[in-house]
Structure 1
Amino acid sequence: MDPETVPQEITTLVGREVYSKNGVFVGEVEDIRLDLDRQAVTGLALHQLNNELFSDQARSSRGVIIPYRWVQAVGDVVIVNDVVERLRKADSDGDSEEVAA
């Protein structure tokens, strides 16, 4: 069986580093948010956050949860949309998108 077609356990995501598609470190996967009714992953709980991307409030909490729809690829690392990078810019403008902490 081809290794790429073998289903992977979602727990293999835990501990993987998360980067934006531009190569900026975002954080590390600590846990996974699931929707049990739909049997789908809905979010990734990150810790060890990049201090330059997240506000002081997010850094002082346990971490953040990013929507799984932001994930573009999963391999040795997790690649997410560059929307994560825009959070900091929007936060400085006062128009930040909500990211759960």
Structure 2
Amino acid sequence: MNAAPEEITSLVGREVYSSNGVFVGEIEDIQLDLDARAVTGLALAELNHELFAGEVGGSTGVIVPYRWVRAVGDIVLVNDVIERYDAGEPEEEAAEDVARSEPR
């Protein structure tokens, strides 16, 4: 049975957790590639400060690449790569893809 499509804005406000159950943040905005008509990233705020300690400085959030998303439901699950980023031994992809969003 197919579920009815949801509007992309319905993601805003959902909590994001790693696949290991660690709270990452809350979706504040969606990054889109309009030409490809695809979601490319999730802008997170209300971050887990322990997870990003010392990494976001004065920034208010981060952008997580959408390809890290494993599941979307009442919450959003992302790959545990975000935890490896926190461990100080990021995959090259993690170091390149976790972008800091500008303070508002």
TM band (smaller chain): 0.7 to 0.9
Task: Give the deviation of 1:5 after TM superposition.
Answer: 2.4
Partner of 1:55: 53
Structure with greater proportional helix content: 1
**Identity of matched residues, %:** 63
Deviating above 2 A after TM superposition, structure 1's stretches of 4 or more consecutive aligned residues are: none
Task: Give the deviation of 1:53 after TM superposition.
Answer: 1.1
TM-score (norm 1): 0.87
Is there any run of 5+ residues in structure 1 with no aligned partner, and where? none
TM-score (norm 2): 0.85
Partner of 1:80: 78
Task: Work out the CA distance in 1 between the residues paired with 2:77 and 2:7.
Answer: 18
Task: Work out the CA distance in 2 between the residues paired with 1:7 and 1:29.
Answer: 19
Contact 1:90–1:97 (CA<8 Å) still a contact in 2?
no
Deviations 1:49-100 (A, max 9, x none): 1111113241520200000000000000000000000111125x8x761311
| Count of residue pairs the alignment pairs up | 97
What RMSD, in angstroms, separates the aligned Cα atoms of the two structures? 1.9
